[in-house]
Amino acid sequence: MAEKFTFVQLAHEYEENKYHIDGWYASEKLDGQRCFWDGGISRGIPATEVPYANTEKDDRLKVQPIATGLWSRGQKVIHAPAWFLDKLPPFPLDGELFINRKCHQLLRTIVAKMAPLDKEIEEAWRRVTFWVFDSPLAQQMFPGSKEMETDKKHRINRDWMINNQKYHPLHHPDWCPPDQDLNERTFSYVYATLRLALTNINSDYIQLMSQIKLSPHPFQAKKQIADLLIKLTDAGAEGLIIRHPGASYIPKRTPYLLKVKRYYDSEATITGYVWGRKTDKGSKLLGLMGTVIVKWTNPETNKEVTFEIGSGFTENERVMTYESGNNAAMIGSVNHGKLVQQGIFNPKFPIGSKITFQYRELSDGGVPKEATYLRKAD
């Protein structure tokens, strides 16, 4: 199934034996809120009048969103205070809102608030910084495609953005030249341009993400990544992002932008199951085990938490059965997404058995993030 449309560039997972990263750039991967600033061209306009706005479910709101120029990865309005928006430059920026390491939940609480903001939330925004990664052109964000419907939507978005940039009173006319060869607008070019442009902005709330140039020698570059990953994650970082210096911006997952994460292994005890359910990716798990419910003890704090693991299992490993041995798929199809009833179990993962799982880091509540089943515990 095709990935949901996004107008920001997304990263693939880094695999050491698959990618040649010598000469690339490396930076810390922030655990914040991805965002895009359109230069302020949509600020003050009802979201319904901005073609690239995602207004799905907005009709349920008492107050209809007014665009701020700041957008989430899913094209939703981010309701930042006016004093924060006033500090942002009159050209597009792709980046991340961030407070500090291990502050993801606090950030999401602040950013999720809708206008009008109360004084407490406005003050909380003073802890937020916009870390800038890139500055794409409208032609790069909405390049069109072979599918006519998508191409038409992209053309509307692209033309609207270009026209509004042209008449924006603060717009830098040389920043987004419409006739620029997109192949020349590489990450190295944009990064150098941003370094000059952002130094003239007197604001502590906007920062350019610093980049480390990796060695041109493949072995040394991989060693740099391994050492840097350990150093930063030990200090509380989420991981790394590495970028190809000669690649141009493209609004989808690209092998020229990679995320590098450090994973940990641990063991947990199975205490229950949840039926698979129909999702936007299909219904192949209907009638099968969707997740296992596990109990896990944090070895550092000795605190016990309960959570679900759904990734890493094969379809064959998800088959549920009655205690009598009959297949229970029909019951699971009816009760999708609910707890599995007594008398039904997974013979490959019985209650009380232990599994080894992999996770990236812990949430603020101490629950493993991105937990994935690896194997049965020894």
Alpha carbons within 13 A on the beta-carbon side of 293: 12
* Contact yes or no for 140/182 (Cβ under 8 A): yes
Q: What is the pLDDT of residue 3?
A: 47
Domain range summary for the chain, segments of one domain joined by +: 27-212, 264-376
Query: What pLDDT does 1 receive?
Result: 34
| pLDDT tens for the 378 residues of the chain, in order | 344 567 889 999 898 888 999 999 999 999 899 999 998 899 999 999 998 888 888 888 788 889 999 999 889 999 999 999 998 988 889 999 999 988 888 898 999 998 888 899 999 999 999 999 999 888 888 876 555 456 777 788 877 787 777 655 545 545 555 566 777 889 999 999 888 888 877 778 999 999 999 999 999 999 999 999 999 988 888 899 999 999 999 888 899 999 998 888 889 999 999 999 876 666 788 889 999 999 999 887 889 999 999 999 998 999 999 877 677 777 777 788 889 988 899 999 999 999 999 887 788 788 998 899 988 886
The pLDDT, as a whole number, for residue 149 is 56
Class at the top of the CATH hierarchy for domain 27-212:
alpha beta
Q: How far apart are CA 295 and CA 116, in angstroms?
A: 41
Task: Give residues with Cβ within 8 angstroms of 122, minimum separation 6.
Answer: 81, 83
Look at the domain 264-376 and name its fold: OB fold (Dihydrolipoamide Acetyltransferase, E2P) (2.40.50)
Going by C-alpha positions, the residue among 235, 301, 259 that lies closest to residue 100 is 235
**240 to each of 12, 129, 317, 364, how far by Cα in Å?**
12, 19, 33, 20
